Amino acid sequence: MPYWLMKSEPDEVSFDDVLAAPGQTVAWFGVRNYQARNFMRDAMQPGDGILFYHSSCAVPGVAGIAVVASTPYPDASQFDAASPYHDPKATPDNPRWISVDVKAVAQGRYLPLTELRGVPELEDMVLLQKGSRLSVSPVTAGQWKRILALAGVADTVAAAAAGQAA
């Protein structure tokens, strides 16, 4: 199973917002970077694991664990002229931007970026590379397991995954 880190500004959509949403599921919208879009469109599948990361805030870090809950579909905000994510070049017949639904799985201990930087097993993580600003990036299985352990949710996530497989 592939794993991803997805960044959200908590004043836009926080992990607490996902937990409070019906079915603990929200649409991931507003991605306007082609590489991040391509990950969502071409590589993400329902059931893939997500590290839900709070960015552009006082203490950026991993706020929770989620899964991809849908196949990719056109991001409706690209067609909305009142949206800050409006794209006048996008049309319903030729959408440029993608959304996926994201479902909360577990909220463990908040893992600040400063702590992640000090974990040797994470030194190759895309998030921690100089100049990395992608809102969606791949995570290795080893990085995933280490972060679940640090957050204290490895057993909870394993139980949720076993329940989905049944």
What is the residue extent of each domain of the chain? 3-154
> Span 3-154: which CATH code?
3.10.590.10
- Residues 3 and 137: their CA atoms lie apart, in Å, by 9
Task: Show pLDDT as tens, one digit a residue, over the chain (166 residues).
Answer: 799 999 999 999 999 999 999 999 999 999 999 999 999 999 999 999 999 999 999 999 999 999 999 999 999 999 999 999 999 999 999 999 999 999 999 999 999 999 999 999 999 999 999 988 899 999 999 999 999 999 999 888 887 777 766 5
What pLDDT score does 1 carry? 74
Going through 11-87 in order, the beta strands assigned E by DSSP cover 25-28, 49-54, 61-68, 73-74
